[in-house]
Structure 1
Amino acid sequence: MTTILVTGGTGTLGRLVTRRLRADGHEVRVLSRHSQPYAVDLRTGGSGLDAAVAGVDTVVHCASSPRGGDEQAAGHLIGAARRAGVGHLAYISVVGVDRVPLGYYRTKLAVERRIEESGLGWTILRTTQFHDLLAQVFQVLAKPPVMALPAGVADQPVEVAEVAGRLAELALGGPVGRAEDMGGPQVRSLESLARAYLSATGRRRPLLRVPLAGAAYRGFRAGHHLTPGLAVGEGTFEEYLAARFGGAHPGR
């Protein structure tokens, strides 16, 4: 039996990774800011981090925050993992972090570099965006009477449970460095994905395609966040929507 620490183990991905590893009979410690007995804020570190990592064979690093602090968190985690003699650090990243100059992507890439230079055995898995994230974005964009979308952008959403399964599999193996990227089953225009969301939630909104400026937008238009040659995911966005929202609702 392997002892594994999952950071961000109460989050969208982390809780599924934890569930999968425990189902396979492994001892799993869940680290998050509020999860006892390993309630640790990785951005500040502290003695609780050393206790969480002590005796651990593998760390699966899922914790991330759009509010910032991921680089500091990674530095604290790597330091604790070194002190504890952890043999394997597995990290979840995003396809395109080295090609799309978005602030959050730059941070993910910086964390990748820290892990690669850590001296630890490491595995990095990059995936396309989760269905959940796309639904959250559409929920916000659908609030006005007109739904504005970045013009000419496609996406390749992937089912988070499938990512959890792959990440757990990698965590249980030896360090492989950069694992093969993982993409959802279909590259779709944002317009078609938005229409699927509107249909599933019973909303009626005209779509407005808005050209944007900037290098990040050009990167998304060029498809640098996609991996069509590695469309290994199986669950479609429509299947996710059906499971989450059920049947169609009256238009609103």
Structure 2
Amino acid sequence: MVPVDLLVTGASGRLGPSLVQALHRDGDRLRQLSRRGTGPDAVRGDLATGADLPAALAGAEVVVHAASDPRNAWAVDVAGTRRLVQSVDRGRLQHLVYVSIVGVDRIPWSYYRAKYATEQVLLASGLPVTIVRVTQFHGFVDELLATARKGPVLPVPMGWRVQPVDVADAARYLAGVARQAPSGAIVDFGGPEELAVADLARMWAAAREPGAHVVSTPFPGRLSSALRDGAALPIGGERGQRSYADHLAA
């Protein structure tokens, strides 16, 4: 196969290491964008300010854009992606894959609104793009449940439905999309099974915190209503193989 010049943003995040591993192929040039530009295969570039972005993106034929900052999403995700669009080498770029989240168009939360706005920036950019919306990763679910536990009680929202996915499954799928021609479309990728949050919490408690007692609690508001109505569930698209139970058993 013809060698490709790849660049990954967000390589140090939750998805990044698995994504870099899945993308790696002998003969390719694979670079990882970071603010400091330190470490193997790293190049310096700052989405928040635009510093060094044109040099970092020079020659990139495939860009997998996974960088995100929930604490500063409008500056980093939205404005940062505009800077990336302005800096990319349009004469060389063959495909830009953006990693988004399932439900950004249906869940009324500020961070999700920013991710949705970022999608619109890319769709309007004229670049060869594919947007992949991914459900929540297993490890992130673990962290949320550990944070929610209050002593022996683990309160969870009543009726919420989710479909968490293994990070390595998502990375392999994204790497496959990156090697394909751009679709110009939005596609979903999720885990193998839909779960009620209460059932998921009971599985987690049994495996990790046997003393925790799961209590389903009604949560009011539009966000809760959206999650009860399945806004966090993928619509179509492919599915990962590794279940949340597999993750807990590992």
TM-score (norm 2): 0.90
Query: Which residue number in structure 1 is paired with residue 115 of structure 2?
Result: 108
Measure how far apart 1:229 and its partner are. Answer: 5.0
Q: 1:72, 1:79 → 2: CA distance?
A: 11
For the pair 1:38 / 2:43, whether they are aligned, the reply is yes
Q: 1:139, 1:23 → 2: CA distance?
A: 37
Q: Which amino acid aligns with 1:182?
A: F
Q: 2:155, 2:98 → 1: CA distance?
A: 33
Residue number among 20, 25, 33 corresponding to 2:22 in the alignment: 20
For the pair 1:150 / 2:157, whether they are aligned, the reply is yes
For the pair 1:174 / 2:181, whether they are aligned, the reply is yes
Taking the TM superposition and a 5 Å limit, the aligned residue runs for 1:4-153 are 4-23=6-25, 25-36=27-38, 37-46=42-51, 48-68=52-72, 69=75, 70-82=77-89, 85-153=92-160
Measure how far apart 1:134 and its partner are. Answer: 0.6
The worse-fitting range, judged by mean Cα deviation, of 35-44 and 225-234 is 225-234
For the pair 1:163 / 2:173, whether they are aligned, the reply is no
Q: 1:160, 1:63 → 2: CA distance?
A: 15
The count of aligned residue pairs is 242
Q: 1:142, 1:23 → 2: CA distance?
A: 42
The worse-fitting range, judged by mean Cα deviation, of 208-217 and 151-160 is 208-217
C-alpha RMSD of matched pairs (Å): 1.8
Q: 1:114, 1:210 → 2: CA distance?
A: 38
SS at match of 1:38: strand
Q: Which amino acid aligns with 1:42?
A: L
Query: Which residue number in structure 2 is paired with residue 210 of structure 1?
Result: 217
Higher strand content, 1 or 2:
2
Measure how far apart 1:181 and its partner are. Answer: 1.4
**Could you list the per-position Cα deviations for residues 78-127 of structure 1 after superposition, in whole angstroms to 9, with x for gaps in the alignment?**
11115664232110111111111111111110000000001111000112
Q: 2:16, 2:71 → 1: CA distance?
A: 18
Over 3 Å counting, the alpha-carbon distance change for 1:120 and 1:230 in structure 2 is closer
Q: Which amino acid aligns with 1:67?
A: R
Over 3 Å counting, the alpha-carbon distance change for 1:18 and 1:231 in structure 2 is closer
The worse-fitting range, judged by mean Cα deviation, of 102-111 and 139-148 is 139-148
Unaligned runs of 5+ in 2: none
TM-score (norm 1): 0.90
Q: Which amino acid aligns with 2:21?
A: R
Q: 2:71, 2:165 → 1: CA distance?
A: 23
Q: Which amino acid aligns with 1:8?
A: G
**Does the CA contact (< 8 Å) of 1:50 and 1:80 recur in 2?**
yes
Q: 1:66, 1:45 → 2: CA distance?
A: 18
Measure how far apart 1:179 and its partner are. Answer: 4.6
The worse-fitting range, judged by mean Cα deviation, of 7-16 and 177-186 is 177-186
SS at match of 1:180: strand
Q: Which amino acid aligns with 1:226?
A: L
SS at match of 2:68: coil
**Could you list the per-position Cα deviations for residues 1-48 of structure 1 after superposition, in whole angstroms to 9, with x for gaps in the alignment?**
0011000012221221111121454211001234424233211111x2
The worse-fitting range, judged by mean Cα deviation, of 132-141 and 79-88 is 79-88
